[in-house]
Structure 1
Amino acid sequence: MAPKTPKSASKSSSAPEVTPPPPGETTTVITATTTLDLPAHPKTLTYEELNPKSKPTEFFGPLGTFAVSSLCPTVAYFLYYGCNETTGCPAMTANGWRTIYDRVANNDWPSQAGKWWDWQAAGAFMAWYVYCIVCWIVLPVQPVEGTLLRDGKRKKYWMNGHYTVLLTLGLVAGFLMRPGGIEAFTWIYDKWVPLVSASLAMAFVQACWVYVWSFFSGELLAQGGNSGNVVYDWFIGRPLNPTFPGFPNFDIKTFNEVRPGIIGWLLLNISCACEQYVRLGRLTNSMVLALLFEVYYVIDTYLDESAILNQIDITTDGFGFMLAFGDLVWLPFTYGVSIRYLAFAPKDLSPLAVVAILAVEGAGLYIFRTSNSEKHDIRHGRNPKNLTFMQTKRGTKLLTSGWWGRSRHPNYFGDWLIALGWCLPTGFDTPITYFYVVFLVFLLTCRQMRDDEFCRKKYGDDWDKYIKLVPYKIIPYVY
């Protein structure tokens, strides 16, 4: 099929008349019907021009990044030691906290779940990571191009995470149906802290590797991670899309974002459910609710896996300890705190409580999905709801009706409600099970401020006009 003629061509005069050639001569008329995309840069930029020096400003600079690098692993461990069946959730007396300190300091926890290190757990984690890589290599893939980089190139990504999670769930289901399979799968629950330590070690090694390799690979650097301060760049991430030598399609950052951590979180949750089943001989309705909510969240991630390529983590942030730790440790071991709690503190909910929790979760999912759908449509030239928008000087559109007319980040509001739905099944006996929703409020509020600053630089005066039309930041008519 012939390519369509651009609209601009249709407005020009009709095709020029051609004078008949003299006898014995031939005239050829060539009509251009396609457009030519010019390169992103008319000249080849040097390495220094592509990767200018940056300033260490985020997280209050080097001291702040050092503090966060120390504090976040401490929190990941605290969520276990501060909430467990041995000392309570949390410990309610000074003597209880002293007991926790003594046992942790001496690595003398009553169960394997609280031991600092275990070589079996470390081996299991490495085997899991290798399994995810093998799945990435051998399962059917859908090649997807990422966003245009500032060097004028696009990276090609192999998307097959949905096959990985389906294969993994199939293998787990087969294992659980074996005699003794449910009891055996509680091994993950029983190795909780050693698995945290193994994941933390992997994140640390990866952050060191990509930082050092970025000085020799010649790869594109993140614009915010080339300050020259070792601690800051190591944390923020110096390389933008680090790869292993010989594997140009294996983007470590994108792989970590949607493979070992998020599917590992699913396995941790299933193991916690198995632990409750072994103890009670059944699953409580609170466990079923929390498990279904979080399983759905994981599955939903892979329904449109390539959407991750448009997120700021992938397009802008470098890969360093911040993202390595977040993907491999923070996500799997802190998002599911409520489910781990229900494994040793089971709770049966009343029918009214179940309905209320389903309503909160349903509202969050509706707002999250609907708002993202509106944004996706307008970005791809569709407007089925006839939403109003503001045309910017850059040529892009900013929605001023629908969910995006109610607030500038309605998807964040939906995310908050979803997270609250995960925590509510634990009741109100302890604040620790609400850690994730509190963390998410802090995270998304910081991200909203960062997004607004980025948009102000991107759109200039148009952004100031836009925020007058849409004054609320996250929660419609409230904040």
Structure 2
Amino acid sequence: MSTVAVDASGLKLLASNGKKPTNMPTEEGMKVDQKLDQHHSYEFGGPWGVTAIMTGFPILMYYFWICLWFYDGQLVHPHSVDGIKPFFARMLQHVREDAYPNAYAWKVYSGNIFFQLFLGWVMPGYKQEGLPVPSLGYKTLTYNCNALFSLYATMITAAVLHYTELFRLTDIIDHYGPIMTVAMIWGFGVSLGTYLQAVATGTQLRMSGNFVYDYFMGAALNPRIGPIDLKMWAEVRIPWVIVFFTAVSAACKQYETYGYVTPNVAFMCLATWLYLNACAKGEECIPQTWDMYHEKWGFMVIFWNFAGVPYTYVYSVVYMASHDPSKYRFSTPTYALMFTVLISAYCVWDAAMSQKSRFKMQTQGITTFRKTFPQIPGCIVQNPTYIQTSHGNRLLTSGLWAYSRKPNYVADWIMSFLWGAIVGTATPIPYFYSIFFITVLTHRCGRDFERCAIKYGKDWEEYCSVVKWKFIPGIY
């Protein structure tokens, strides 16, 4: 019987019985991993490109919010050269007066951050081993997956605060602008703190030598506070909790204003809860993903989790919370179709994510999986087929992954499109999520495929010949 040792940092030492696990790379694979763990070229346009992203995206967030809240969801712009200066003056005035990071906004946003940290520290969880990490000498990190307990503790706490009027949930949408500003400040600040901590402790990885670019991409791979893996904690506990409660806030506001909740807002409450609950109930699958295994924790990920996702993915909710329901009312068959497509896309997305992650767990010798609600049929592939690579890894060719290299991306994008389509043609701004998302997914897919081509060589070519389609079978 094999034994394992765990050190004080939560790293599990592999192969303590003298045998190599099935997911450990070969010597050739280790050389490739060493190459991939070094900086070779700039992405996102290099230092100038990431500077443009870090300055332009917050500006875009303010612009869309102002258009939704103050200009009936229309994309306002100056109508003449002489109107440029007054236009920007109005925009800046809205930011100064309507999005100022006041003390209440700091209390609401920061209170949630510290509450989620507290829950992440004290709540019981399911212990899950991650994949071997090359930069850690192929050790694995152990993750305390307690997001599900934390989620329901948060929901109960929010309900108590709302009904006792200690904190009205409607304040989330009513103070959207100031809270969004605080979220941005948190995003920039945590990015800088994490970067400096990694450099100070000598744990930086794949550095380019350019501060701006490295700040954007990140320096640390697996920063932790006690039992909390910050990268995984932030991916689940911050953005999707805020997204869900923003939808709930809009529902509460509608009920207080009209005495009912529209099917459109109810749709967003369901859609956001499905996403949040899926991340929480399947949290043990996250350590097997590329985000945890390879992506560094820098501005690109941190700002997106702290501010980008929660304050750009819910533009439909912001619009519906500030406009009369007559502007986005649908017919009953349309509602039925949208709910059906949403649930269908969710099932495909959830099953695909589960199949891939649990296949990776199987290569680690993990065959018993926890049961949480809801379990999607086919979420675990029985007797999976795969391509054994010379690197040492296995590439899944069964289940949904037999038809597409990224079936999860397709389903995920369909859900993102529905999050905008729920307001119909009332305003184009909520469609930003799906437009931006497909750009990100396409770029990320290119990064992933390029990395796989280097990592697996001819085995990747064989895999592509077996699983021919990148996204949609028979189309692309």
| Interval of TM-score (by shorter of Structure 1 and Structure 2) | 0.7 to 0.9
Q: 2:103 aligns with which of 103, 113, 119?
A: 119
For residue 18 of structure 2, what is the aligned residue in structure 1?
A: 36
Consecutive unaligned residues of structure 2, counting only runs of 5 or more, are 3-15, 26-33, 368-379
- Identify the structure with bigger relative contact order (alpha carbons < 8 Å, sequence gap 6+): 2
Answer whether contact 1:222 1:240 (CA < 8 A) is retained.
yes
Cα distance change on mapping 1:374 and 1:165 into 2, 3 Å: closer
Shift in alpha-carbon separation, 1:67–1:136, aligned structure 2, 3 A: same
Cα distance in 2 for partners of 1:128, 1:460 equals 45
| Rg larger for | 1
Aligned pairs for 1:180-199 within 5 A: 184-199=168-183
Matched, 1:57 2:47: no
Once the two structures are TM-superposed, the CA of residue 388 in structure 1 deviates from its matched residue by: 4.8
SS in 1 for 2:101: coil
Q: Secondary structure at the match of 1:90?
A: coil
Q: Are 2:303 and 1:325 aligned?
A: yes
Q: Tell me the C-alpha RMSD between the 2 structures.
A: 3.0
Q: Quick one: which of 410, 413, 416 aligns to 2:410? A: 413
Q: Distance in 1 between matches of 2:87 and 2:255?
A: 27
1:105 has 2:129 as partner: no
1:87 matched residue in structure 2 = 71
What amino acid does structure 1 have at the position aligned with 2:60? Answer: V
| Contact 1:222/1:316 (<8 A) preserved | no
**Cα distance change, pair 431–328 in 1 and its aligned pair in 2 (3 A):** same
SS at match of 1:210: helix
Map 1:72-471 → 2, pairs under 5 A:
72-84=57-69, 86-91=70-75, 94=78, 101-107=88-94, 114-150=98-134, 151-152=136-137, 153-178=139-164, 184-219=168-203, 221-223=204-206, 226-243=207-224, 247-345=225-323, 346=325, 347-376=328-357, 378-379=359-360, 380=362, 388-400=385-397, 402-471=399-468
- Report the Cα distance in structure 1 between the residues aligned to 2:312 and 2:424, rounded to whole angstroms: 18
The secondary structure found in structure 2 opposite 1:140 is coil
Structure 1 gaps of 5+ residues are 5-33, 42-48
Q: How many residues align?
A: 431
Q: 1:390 to 1:333 in 2, by over 3 A?
A: same
Relative to structure 1, is the Cα distance of residues 91 and 318 closer, same or farther in structure 2, using a 3 angstrom cutoff? Answer: closer
Aligned counterparts of 1:115 and 1:270: Cα–Cα separation in 2: 21
3-state SS of 1:144 partner: strand
TM-score (norm 1): 0.82
| Change over 3 Å in CA distance of 1:93–1:259 after alignment to 2 | closer
Alpha carbons 1:210, 1:239 under 8 Å: kept: yes
CA contact (8 A) 2:123 2:150 kept: yes
CA contact (8 A) 2:130 2:287 kept: yes
Of 468, 474, 477, 2:474 maps to 477
Shift of 1:357: 0.5
Rounded Cα–Cα distance in structure 2 between residues aligned with 1:251 and 1:416: 27
**What's the secondary structure of 2:100's corresponding residue?**
coil
Query: In percent, how many aligned pairs have the same letter?
Result: 27
Instruction: Give the Cα separation in 1 of the matches to 2:301 and 2:278.
Output: 21
Confirm or deny: 8 A CA contact 2:127 2:144 kept in the other structure: yes
**Structure 1 residues 133, 398: closer, same or farther in 2, change over 3 A?**
closer
Give CA-to-partner distance per residue, 1:76-108, whole Å, 9 cap, x none: 222201222x31211467479987633332347
Q: Which amino acid aligns with 1:232?
A: Y
**CA apart distance, 1:396:** 4.1
CA distance in 1, matches of 2:333, 2:277: 27
Q: 2:374 maps to what in 1?
A: none
Q: Residue in 1 aligned with 2:8?
A: none
User: 2:247–2:265: 8 Å Cα contact kept in structure 1?
Assistant: no
Distance 1:98 1:186 in 2: 35
| Deviation of 1:167 (Å) | 0.8
Length-normalised TM-score, structure 2: 0.82
CA shift for structure 1 position 376: 4.3
Q: Deviations over 1:165-204 (max 9, x none)?
A: 10111122223334x689x322121211111111111111
Specify whether residues 469 and 385 from structure 1 end up closer, same or farther in structure 2 by C-alpha distance, changes over 3 A only.
Answer: same
- Letter paired with 2:283: E
The CA distance in 2 between the partners of 1:360 and 1:222, in whole Å, is 42
Partners of 2:238 and 2:387 in 1: CA distance: 40
Q: Secondary structure at the match of 1:428?
A: coil
Partner Cα separation in structure 1 for residue 394 and residue 440 of structure 2:
26
User: For the residues of structure 1 that align with 2:294 and 2:359, how far apart are their CA atoms?
Assistant: 22
User: Residue deviations 1:240-281, cap 9 Å, x none?
Assistant: 1223xxx44333222211213321222222112222222212
Per-residue CA deviation, residues 98-128 of structure 1 (Å, 9 max, x unaligned), is 876333323477xx7x333222212322222
User: Aligned pair in 2 of structure 1 residues 158, 398: CA closer, same or farther (>3 Å)?
Assistant: closer
SS of aligned partner of 2:451: helix
Distance 2:74 2:311 in 1: 17
CA distance in 1, matches of 2:441, 2:148: 26
Local SS of the residue matching 1:156: strand
- Is 1:147–1:315's contact at 8 Å kept on the other side of the alignment? yes
Q: Which residue is 1:24 aligned to? A: none
Q: Please give the per-residue CA displacement for 1:372-394, whole angstroms capped at 9, x wherever unaligned.
A: 34434544268856665434334
